[in-house]
Structure 1
Amino acid sequence: MEVTGKQAAGHSVLSRAEVMRKLKLVTDKLMKLDRPDNEAELQNLGEDAERRGYFARDFGMEEWDWPQGVGLYGLQKLDRLLADGRYQAYTKPWMARQLEKGLPSRNINTTAPLLSLMELEEAGELSLEWMEWLMHGLPRTLEQGYQHVTTGSQKHEVSLHENELWIDTLFMAILFTAKMGVKHDNPQWRETSLHQLLLHIKYLYDKKTGLFFHGWHCEQRHNFSEAFWCRGNGWFTLGLPEYLELMRPYLADGVFMYLQQIMHAQAEALLACQSADGLWHTLLDDPASYTETSGSAAIAAGILSGVRSGMLPEAFAEPAVKAIRAVMDRIDDEGTVLGVSSGTPIGAAKEDYTKIVIAPMAYGQAMALVALGEALHYC
């Protein structure tokens, strides 16, 4: 096997054959992902269900919401890397089925499928309509932030989360805003994406640690339980390098430098709390909480993306590769990514994060795909 310059510099060599084998397994499983085997048990959680992350719509790939949107994002990333045509072959029929069933309410989370669908001609008109809604229909917080509105108990209902900013929003809606602004050369949309990004950093970035809180209440002015949630930090770690590469031609040098420094500070803080096995705990600063696979994969992929683009130091790659090895160990023989926490509302207490249901999720499959795709640069 040929050794790249990065490997020669001291990085652990990954087996390309093994990475490709895992990629195929995870991809095949994602495209046919179904309901969890223990769903009957989960349904018995009763009033505790949503607090512990059991949202029936989140499971499998046959819904239009954020887990499936992140799943499509992973498939698109893989298709760009391998150019094997699986993304469009899967996605066009998927979108047609969702349109036939009827789309859910427009909210932050249901924007996520359009992050990748917007590049299909068939989704062009829908993407423009949705973008207009983000600009003029989405409820805003104080200071005009994207309020983290989500799907309600029924698909056509919404949960408003009034005056709340969540770290998830960067990946679910701000990236889409930026991509639409670039694609349609719309300066207002691009500037809106930048304002939203800076506003979320302003209220969610913790200067003492370099990590991000899960949420901020704009009216009550607090960060809820002040939890440093793994997957939430992963959304930022993965999303920011992509945002900067996309928006670099439109950003002033000072703004770009500021955002790159935030990226560096967060990555440095994350590496400082990486567990011995290479993964990250679901509460990043609590070694007693379980290590969580989807957030760990997103963090590893984001760090490697930042290194590859020259925005993060080369030295950060080695621990990220270690994390990818650990993610690979959590992929079973059927391609299921294990150790993935379900949809996670903002916890009233930090311990709420440790009680979230563990189950196979589309975004767990997708984040593993993206991480393994980045790993191919180290094979």
Structure 2
Amino acid sequence: MIPIAETAARVYGYMVQDYSGQWGMDREAWDWVPGVGVIAMMEYGETFRRREVLDDLHEWEQRNRAKSAELKVINAIAPFAIYAPLCRHTGDTYYYESSVRAAEWLLREAPRTREGAFEHTVTEEAQFPEQVWADTVFMAVLFLARTARLTGHAEYAKEAVEQSLIHMRLLQDKETDVLFHGWNCITSDHMSAARWTRANAWVAAGIPEIVSEVGGLAPIPDELRIRYERLMKGLIRYQQQDGLWSTVMDHPDYYREASGSAGIACGILRGIRSGWLSSELAEAAGRALPALVERIEADGCLSGVSGGTPVMESVEAYNRIACYPTLYGQGLMLMLLNAFEAAKAEEEGR
């Protein structure tokens, strides 16, 4: 029996140390990397009822508040996803007002592709004109859904649903039901056409949360539910014998990638909890957990996490991405542990 609470505490503990200057682990920044980390930490504090974790995140936000206004790109939206729970936790209206400002930027100013999808924009000196990435669903659409719930604004909720559906339509492979990493609206193709595991993880873990947040504020099309169910069943077909997924899932000879595997397994549990997936699929998440826990070192570091990955020039290039510790890897692992704890609590009626 895997000690979920103890394991989660170790993973969390590794995340809050001082990693100044280390891109993958430095929490004192405002980008998608620490963004995924703090989203997972917030969820951890709420799931395990650790108020000191929530207090720490409030202090983190105050330390980094000035940075939040510096960049208006999709990847810089990710940390704002903790504002709604921070607003409820602290009662500070700043979080409400800032959430509205960021949501308004997304709706009124963020670059869009010709299909209406948010163009994926980054904090680095790089541009990807009219490119749609699966990553955007977690980095920006999740925030928009949480802000819809916080404010009660149906417009935000409708946009969150629409963005989720557009991304699924553009990225879902008709043959396998899994997602390609990206879509180029100019050339009308999936570029290198990589079925990249972590891209699928962002959507697998993000969609159930988005749907949960917008429930009652916007109608959820049957198409989104059907596409999500097909996606998750397609992903399970690519799970390897050891319980993990290769970094490009239809290449079993490529290295196993921990963050994407954790995100997919988390999505399975979240999908079951939302009622969109059959409980029979929990077995796949159950097979992934011990394989991932084996990769957690004594200090709580999750090994086997691939580095930051844009849409690469070829499928083969994904297999050359180096692995090293990252806050998003720790975060996706922590989300999976949170999901197991939530499922256990629900089963026990807690």
Shift of 1:181: 2.0
Q: Name the CA distance, whole Å, in 1 between partners of 2:104 and 2:329.
A: 30
Equivalent position to 1:140, from 112, 119, 123: 112
Cα distance 1:33–1:224, how it changes in 2: closer, same or farther (>3 A)?
A: farther
Would the aligned equivalents of 1:57 and 1:63 in 2 still touch at CA under 8 Å?
Answer: no
Q: Which residue of 2 aligns with 1:96?
A: 62
1:131-170 map, 5 Å: 131-153=103-125, 159-170=126-137
Cα distance 1:248–1:103, how it changes in 2: closer, same or farther (>3 A)?
A: closer
Cα distance 1:99–1:134, how it changes in 2: closer, same or farther (>3 A)?
A: same
Based on CA coordinates, which of the two structures has the bigger radius of gyration? Answer: 1
TM-score, L = length of structure 1: 0.85
Shift of 1:82: 1.1
Would the aligned equivalents of 1:76 and 1:116 in 2 still touch at CA under 8 Å?
Answer: yes
Q: Structure 1, residues 183-213: CA drift from partner, whole Å, max 9, x if none?
A: 2122222222222111111110111101001
SS in 2 for 1:165: strand
Shift of 1:317: 0.4
Q: Name the CA distance, whole Å, in 1 between partners of 2:68 and 2:169.
A: 37
Cα distance 1:308–1:145, how it changes in 2: closer, same or farther (>3 A)?
A: closer
Would the aligned equivalents of 1:304 and 1:374 in 2 still touch at CA under 8 Å?
Answer: yes
Please tell me whether residue 356 in structure 1 is matched to residue 325 in structure 2: no
Q: Which residue of 2 aligns with 1:284?
A: 249
Equivalent position to 1:236, from 193, 203, 224: 203
Q: Which residue of 2 aligns with 1:296?
A: 261
Q: Structure 1, residues 276-324: CA drift from partner, whole Å, max 9, x if none?
A: 1101111010011111111110110110111233221111101211101
Shift of 1:251: 4.3
Q: Name the CA distance, whole Å, in 1 between partners of 2:32 and 2:134.
A: 14
Q: Structure 1, residues 201-244: CA drift from partner, whole Å, max 9, x if none?
A: 11101111010011111111110111001111001111111122
Please tell me whether residue 67 in structure 1 is matched to residue 52 in structure 2: no
Equivalent position to 1:341, from 306, 326, 350: 306
Q: Name the CA distance, whole Å, in 2 between partners of 1:171 and 1:244.
A: 12
Cα distance 1:100–1:133, how it changes in 2: closer, same or farther (>3 A)?
A: closer
Q: Which has the higher contact order (CA 8 A, sep 6+)?
A: 1
Please tell me whether residue 325 in structure 1 is matched to residue 325 in structure 2: no
> Which stretch of structure 1 is more off in the superposition, 186-195 or 205-214?
186-195
Equivalent position to 2:150, from 183, 195, 215: 183
1:51-90 map, 5 Å: 57-90=23-56
Would the aligned equivalents of 2:96 and 2:150 in 1 still touch at CA under 8 Å?
Answer: no
Equivalent position to 1:34, from 15, 19, 25: 19
Cα distance 1:343–1:354, how it changes in 2: closer, same or farther (>3 A)?
A: same
Q: Name the CA distance, whole Å, in 2 between partners of 1:181 and 1:251.
A: 10
Would the aligned equivalents of 1:33 and 1:362 in 2 still touch at CA under 8 Å?
Answer: no
Q: Which ranges of structure 1 fall in alignment gaps of 5 or more residues?
A: 1-13, 37-55, 154-158
Identity %, equivalent residues? 31
Q: Which amino acid aligns with 1:142?
A: R
Q: Name the CA distance, whole Å, in 2 between partners of 1:86 and 1:300.
A: 27
Q: Which amino acid aligns with 1:270?
A: L
CA RMSD after TM alignment = 1.8
Q: Which residue of 1 aligns with 2:89?
A: none
Query: How many residue pairs get matched?
Result: 338
Shift of 1:95: 1.3
Q: Which ranges of structure 2 fall in alignment gaps of 5 or more residues?
A: 87-91, 346-350
Q: Name the CA distance, whole Å, in 2 between partners of 1:201 and 1:182.
A: 22
